């Protein structure tokens, strides 16, 4: 893909401590979706395209296999919902790359704040070139109840604006 036509943000691992799919919100639950939007979604509803089981398998390992999302003059978004149980702190990790250099259009990792009903920035990358592996990582160590819903699920997303 060409950065001027259809850049993509492509995760290679999940952004939570849990990476195995499960049918219900319990240990191992992963609800992953993606989409492209003129404006960033302002809630944590599922995005337009659910990850397939093969897509979830692709992001289960830190390797070179990616799940892409194309876009042109819009936001490319990957959203990750994971069961975290009674844990009160997490390290969020996203490993991936983009065909559009983050030095041209930053890539941002966010977490959904249940209490404030807003997205909070965790980390961003704005220095690497196109098609270069990089990691966005951040620790949630306090106020865990701000991020977990009643089923102990957190929602994180990674996005980039296609120029």
Q: What is the pLDDT of residues 92-108, one digit of tens each?
A: 999 988 999 999 999 99
Angle, CA 17 vertex, CA 154 and CA 97 arms, to 5°? 90
pLDDT single digits (tens) 9-22: 433 333 433 333 33
| Strands 9-11, 90-98: pairing kind | antiparallel
| Closest C-alpha among 162, 163, 161, 93 to residue 133 | 93
**CB atoms closer than 10 angstroms to residue 14:** 25
**CB atoms closer than 10 angstroms to residue 68:** 18
CA distance 148 to 114: 7
Task: Please name the helix (run of DSSP H) or strand (run of DSSP E) that holds residue 149, with its range, or none.
Answer: none
CA distance 65 to 90: 24
Section 124-143 average pLDDT: 92
């Amino acid at each position: 893909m060409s950065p001027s036509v259809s850049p993509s943000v492509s995760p290679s691992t999940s952004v939570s401590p849990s990476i195995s799919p499960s049918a219900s919100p319990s240990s191992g639950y992963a609800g992953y979706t993606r989409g492209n939007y003129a404006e960033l979604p302002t809630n944590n509803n599922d995005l337009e395209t659910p990850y397939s089981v093969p897509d979830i398998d692709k992001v289960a390992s830190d390797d070179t296999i990616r799940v892409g999302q194309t876009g042109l003059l819009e936001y490319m978004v990957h959203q990750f919902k994971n069961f975290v149980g009674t844990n009160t702190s997490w390290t969020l990790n996203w490993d991936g790359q983009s065909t559009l250099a983050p030095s041209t259009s930053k890539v941002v990792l966010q977490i959904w704040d249940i209490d404030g009903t807003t997205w909070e920035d965790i980390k961003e990358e704005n220095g690497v070139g196109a098609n270069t592996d990089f990691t966005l990582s951040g620790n949630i160590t306090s106020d865990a109840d701000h991020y977990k819903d009643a089923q102990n699920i957190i929602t994180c997303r990674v996005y980039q604006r296609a120029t």
